[in-house]
Structure 1
Amino acid sequence: MEWLSSLMTTDKAIKGALIIHGVALVGTVLLALDQWRSECETKPPQPKPQYITQDTEDALKLTTLDTLLGHYNHAIRETAVKIVCDRAVNDKDTLEQLLWGITRPNYDERLKNLRALAVITDPRESMINHGGTIDRLIIPQDSLDKLHTWKAYAALVRCLELSLDPDQEVLNNDDWDEYPLRDMTDKLCLMFISQLVGTFDCEKLIKAKFVEKWLSKQNWGTTEEERHQNLAAYLRSKTNRLAEIISCIRQSPAGRVALQKCGLFPYPDTEESEADDDDTHLVERLSVLFPETLDVNSLDVNHPTRVLLRSFQTTPGSEEQRDRNQRHREAMVLNDGSHPITSDDIIQRDPTSPP
């Protein structure tokens, strides 16, 4: 019976080996079939990113842009709006047409053209059509370059002139700011002007008679003294766009002359004015001795810096005065450039020594 027991043991081993080989074969076949299926599967090609070039934008027709402006996709609509605004702001005829439109007597026509001008110069901001604040508008540099022209300044000033309020209250209240209550045409024009003078300068604005045609016609008061005080108080207490424009005009010599002629800025005292001119001239000649931040216009007449500057100047007078001036001019400045010059760096001649 031993042979039968040995045969049964051998049969079990054979069966186990057959089962293991069968499982391995099935697994190998399934793996081979899976790989074959993966290789035979046809995958759709991945879309490549497409960029809109300038040539592509120029090739779009107006009818195509009109269709894209009504597209359901927000990104497509935004891109179409940007293309339309870029074409408009770079088209000279379109820009001049809008500038001509803001000078029309009809209020609705002026406002419509002003809104269009604001949209094409900054298409990113849609608040103009949704009742948002104008102060958030920031015009890009390339759009400001298109508006830095004589026609643009003259048109903006004319638009402000047409929007003058004959019943305006006196601008003498320091507790509240009237700027948010101004008409939309005023705020839009002042928005353009503020960014233009802040980026460039106010010379073209002054030549367009902004002070004479609009600023002086604001209700600053009845008497000349009252107008001076109210304007100074307005600049001191307000931080709106109008205050920024007036501050820029006051920093310009031509602007100060225009303000003085219109009774908004007092004429300086003759002696102080001559001293200011002399000091300014000397500062230009001796700029290497003084710090770059020196502003002679902000210094008092009796400030040590101005007294020192006047001491360099030859003035007519008595012999004693000439000797004093001579001694003042005989000085040495010891400064190695590591710090701004001060009075401690100036060694003057002993006044008691003979000339």
Structure 2
Amino acid sequence: MGWLIKFLRDDRVLFGYLAINAVGWLLGLRVLLKKWRDDAEIKPVQPKTQYITQETEDALKLSTLDTLLGHYNQSIRETAAKIVCDRAVNDRETVDLLLWGITRGDYDERMRNLRALATITDPQSLERLHRWKAYAALVRCLELCLDPGQEVLDDEDWDEYSLRDMAEKLCLMFISQLVSCYDAEKLIKAKFIDKWLAKQNWGVSEQDRQRNFAQYMRCRSNRITDIVASIRGTHSGREALEKAGLLPASSSSSDSDPEDNLPFIERFSVLLPGNINLNNLRDDEQARLLLRSLQQGVQTAEEQRVRHRHREAIVLNDGSRPVNSDDIIQRPESPS
């Protein structure tokens, strides 16, 4: 026991004990103060997420919605605007009033109604416009937007769609969305081709109109070409285009493409540079022979199928070495 008494009387042990005791007190005091601080902190109450039910939305009066549309909070304004648009697009009388407005002669009135119609409609509510009355109103609005001084649409390198009237582009936007979601039968019955498409400046003579129209469909990619492509996909649409003089009369074969009736040199002109005159090619005998040989080189569907079958091959390689000719197994050629 003597060594223990001697150890306890050592000053170094006493100082070590006091140091450990002080550090322990400091740590304990820090923990207690931190806990007291956390308990004394007043935390703000988190707002609960509240959703507007359909009953609450239907109970809102117009005066209340008008007040909410002028609220300083953007989220409240957007919600109020969405409620107003949903009410308007689901109200048949409101939609009919807007459709009537886009057929008026005053340009500003047509634009106001078109913008309102574009605001309240979305892909989910587009079916409200899939009826004959809406198609007829859109076609009438397009008819009022016709430009008497329109240039001939014969330039294959320039797309004039971006320079068209805004009201015209809005109507074409609606029609393009409708024919892409549904069919083009109601649009054809609304005489879209006779009242607007055929009145575009395709040229003077029937041959010029057909050539410029085919060139426009081949070289452009806009809403007009999308709409016409949907129309050409139906039998009644092709008949209407032929009746309007935009397509040549169908041949005896109903499966032939009307564009195949165009001269081969016109279809081949897409691949030629712009500085080559097609009239000179028609007069040049060597050029005519070259184009005729290219046309004769076009194979039938059966010949193309046989060539594709001859090109079929199987490659067997596990990836451990580069592919060589020994890994390729080709179909044996059939005797001629």
**TM-score grouping bracket, smaller chain normalisation:** 0.5 to 0.7
SS in 2 for 1:65: helix
Provide the residue aligned with 2:225 in structure 1.
243
Q: Which amino acid aligns with 1:198?
A: S
Number of equivalences: 254
Matched, 1:220 2:202: yes
Quick one: structure 1 residues 15 and 216, their matched pair in 2 at CA, closer, same or farther if it must change by over 3 Å?
closer
User: TM-score, normalising length from structure 1?
Assistant: 0.63
TM superposition shift of 1:74:
2.3
Deviation per CA, 1:305-337: give whole Å up to 9, x if none: 6xxxxxxxxxxxxxxxxxxxxxxxxxxxxxxxx
Q: Which amino acid aligns with 1:71?
A: H
Aligned counterparts of 1:184 and 1:94: Cα–Cα separation in 2: 23
TM superposition shift of 1:64:
2.2
Aligned counterparts of 1:167 and 1:252: Cα–Cα separation in 2: 32
Aligned counterparts of 1:186 and 1:254: Cα–Cα separation in 2: 24
Runs of 4+, deviation exceeding 3 Å: 12-45, 302-305
Aligned counterparts of 1:160 and 1:30: Cα–Cα separation in 2: 79
Deviation per CA, 1:203-261: give whole Å up to 9, x if none: 00000111111111111111111111111000001001011111111111000111111
Aligned counterparts of 1:19 and 1:246: Cα–Cα separation in 2: 92
Provide the residue aligned with 2:171 in structure 1.
189
TM superposition shift of 1:37:
6.3
TM superposition shift of 1:93:
1.0
Matching residue within 254, 268, 282 for 2:250: 268
Matching residue within 194, 198, 203 for 2:180: 198
Provide the residue aligned with 1:120 in structure 2.
120
TM superposition shift of 1:268:
1.7
TM superposition shift of 1:59:
2.5
Deviation per CA, 1:95-119: give whole Å up to 9, x if none: 1110000011111111110011111
TM superposition shift of 1:56:
2.8
Matching residue within 184, 187, 190 for 1:208: 190
Which residues of structure 2 form unaligned runs of 5+? 1-5, 257-298, 303-336
TM superposition shift of 1:183:
0.8
SS in 1 for 2:211: helix
Matched, 1:111 2:96: no
Aligned counterparts of 2:31 and 2:172: Cα–Cα separation in 1: 76
TM superposition shift of 1:44:
4.3
Provide the residue aligned with 1:72 in structure 2.
72
Matching residue within 247, 256, 259 for 2:241: 259
Provide the residue aligned with 1:45 in structure 2.
45
Provide the residue aligned with 2:261 in structure 1.
none
Aligned counterparts of 1:257 and 1:216: Cα–Cα separation in 2: 13
Quick one: structure 1 residues 17 and 65, their matched pair in 2 at CA, closer, same or farther if it must change by over 3 Å?
same
TM superposition shift of 1:198:
0.8
Aligned counterparts of 2:90 and 2:129: Cα–Cα separation in 1: 11
Provide the residue aligned with 1:156 in structure 2.
138
TM superposition shift of 1:15:
11
Matched, 1:97 2:97: yes
Provide the residue aligned with 1:345 in structure 2.
none
Q: Which amino acid aligns with 1:104?
A: R
Provide the residue aligned with 2:85 in structure 1.
85
Aligned counterparts of 1:23 and 1:171: Cα–Cα separation in 2: 92
Aligned counterparts of 2:113 and 2:94: Cα–Cα separation in 1: 11
Provide the residue aligned with 2:314 in structure 1.
none
Quick one: structure 1 residues 92 and 22, their matched pair in 2 at CA, closer, same or farther if it must change by over 3 Å?
same
Aligned counterparts of 2:219 and 2:26: Cα–Cα separation in 1: 90
Provide the residue aligned with 1:178 in structure 2.
160
Deviation per CA, 1:33-87: give whole Å up to 9, x if none: 7645654665443222222332332232222222222222322222222221111
Q: Give me the CA root mean square deviation.
A: 3.0
SS in 1 for 2:253: helix
Q: Which amino acid aligns with 1:257?
A: E
Aligned counterparts of 1:15 and 1:37: Cα–Cα separation in 2: 33
Deviation per CA, 1:241-296: give whole Å up to 9, x if none: 01111111111100011111111111122x334x77xxxxxxxxxxxxxxxxxxxx
Provide the residue aligned with 1:54 in structure 2.
54
SS in 2 for 1:214: helix
Q: Which amino acid aligns with 2:99?
A: L
Q: Which amino acid aligns with 2:86?
A: D
Quick one: structure 1 residues 150 and 17, their matched pair in 2 at CA, closer, same or farther if it must change by over 3 Å?
same
Matched, 1:229 2:216: no
Aligned counterparts of 2:250 and 2:30: Cα–Cα separation in 1: 101
Provide the residue aligned with 2:290 in structure 1.
none
TM superposition shift of 1:89:
1.0
Aligned counterparts of 1:42 and 1:14: Cα–Cα separation in 2: 44
Q: Which amino acid aligns with 1:109?
A: E
